[in-house]
Amino acid sequence: MKIPTAWLQLKFYPLRLVVAVAGVCFSIFLIFMQLSFQDALFDSAVSLYEPLDADIFILSSRSSALIAMENFPERRLSQSLAVENVAEVIPLYLGFAQWRNPVRKNYWRSIYIIGIDPSQSVFNLKSVEENRFRLQLPDTVLFNEHSRAEYGPIPELFRQRGELKTEIGDRGSSNREVTVVGLFPLGISFGADGTILTSDLNFQRILPGRKKGFINLGGIKLQDESKLDITLEALRDYLPNDVKVFSKAEIFAFEKNYWATGSPIGFVFALGVGIGLSVGVVITYQVLYSSISQHLSEYATLRAVGYRQRYLLGVVFQEAVFLALFAYVPGIIFTSFATKLARDATNLPVYIDVNKAIIVLLLSCLMCFVSGGIAVRKLQDADPADVFY
């Protein structure tokens, strides 16, 4: 049985091993958190599209993301009915207004408003289907129960009272009193941490400055979903260039691309991953370099008795793998607690999944291998002749 040289060298200085594992663990924790926040950013960005009962989406060619949807003529949506396989069209109105916290009367916060035709089935959400007809009444809204607490304890108050009233508008004379007549579950995002759903007419009342006959997003239901690609091409050929046509998968990619490349948030998270890797490389390199330096005479002895350079390199890389594995376990445990805290505090989908765990494990090993590759240059100093001095 081969002697576990790498393990024996690492545990020869227990305190240094503990410090090294803690340093690499911090790096792994940082990588985990940045990737978790990045995935939460992308997942939350498409949270509105997922429950929409539509196969194809139309938006203005000037729109860049869900939080920055430009208006386009509603007649474009009506024109799409002339294309074969289009069964139904769904107009959606999107915008922001100021929401008054019903408990903290002087506290206002920007909230995202979705306007729909309550006679249509728009969302695949049971609570919306049960309450959408109530939106036909003036100044009624459904409140997203996953909205942040800064909007007020709306879900708790609604369950206690059945209905509750507050104000919405621009914090000026055009404010309107609205009644919350129901709750619905919808994820929040980095761009909109609170949402209400109302009718198209109520939307116009809340935001009277919006042009009539213009919408922000159009949904299209197909008669035959298997002909999706053919219908997409037909719509792109038929409709003018002032609108863009996407399938659900394509609009997911469109939204995620904005947050990844068109927003500083995506860059910050990517930079955080890079910093985490850099910190891990530096820490691991220092540990491996110190280990090689302190055992240089032993390495020279091994060379003198016939061990090849390849064996010595293998010892160093084994140490690197040990450090990665020892640090990975506490790293993923700490991240699990941290993501739960972040999820409870923000209501964002911050999770660790199997794919992320595998990716971070591979990055950890790669990080330590790079450090080992840099540190092994010190082995060039392990001259067998040094044994006799």
The per-residue pLDDT for range 33-48, each reduced to its tens digit, is 999 999 988 888 898 8
Q: What is the pLDDT of residues 107-142, one digit of tens each?
A: 899 999 999 999 999 999 999 999 999 999 999 999
Q: What is the pLDDT of residue 84?
A: 93
Flag whether pLDDT at 330 surpasses 90: yes
Asked whether the predicted pLDDT for residue 382 surpasses 80, the reply is no
Kindly indicate the confidence band of residue 379, based on its pLDDT and cuts at 50, 70 and 90. Answer: low
Q: Is it the case that residue 1 has pLDDT exceeding 60? A: no
Q: What is the pLDDT of residue 165?
A: 92
Residue 378 predicted with pLDDT over 70? no
Compute the distance between CA of residue 167 and CA of residue 178 in angstroms, rounded to an integer: 6
Residue position matching structure tokens 């001095």: 389
pLDDT tens sequence across 226-249? 999 999 999 999 999 999 999 999
The better pLDDT of the pair 337, 300 is held by: 337
Contact call for residues 55 and 248 (beta carbons, < 8 A): yes
Residue 172 confidence class, pLDDT cut points 50, 70, 90: low
Closest alpha carbon to 288 in 102, 2, 13: 13
The stretches of 166-227 forming alpha helices (DSSP H) are 200-206
At residue 386, the pLDDT reads: 56
Q: What is the pLDDT of residue 214?
A: 93
Question: In a 3-state reduction of DSSP, which class is residue 266?
Answer: helix
Give the separation between CA 297 and CA 326, rounded to whole angstroms: 27
Mean pLDDT of the chain: 87
* pTM over 0.85, yes/no: no
pLDDT, tens digit, 9 for 90 and up, residues 50-104:
999 999 999 999 998 888 899 999 999 999 999 999 999 999 999 999 999 998 8
Predicted pLDDT of residue 53 = 92
**Residue 123 DSSP class:** B
Q: Is the confidence at residue 256, as pLDDT, over 80?
A: yes
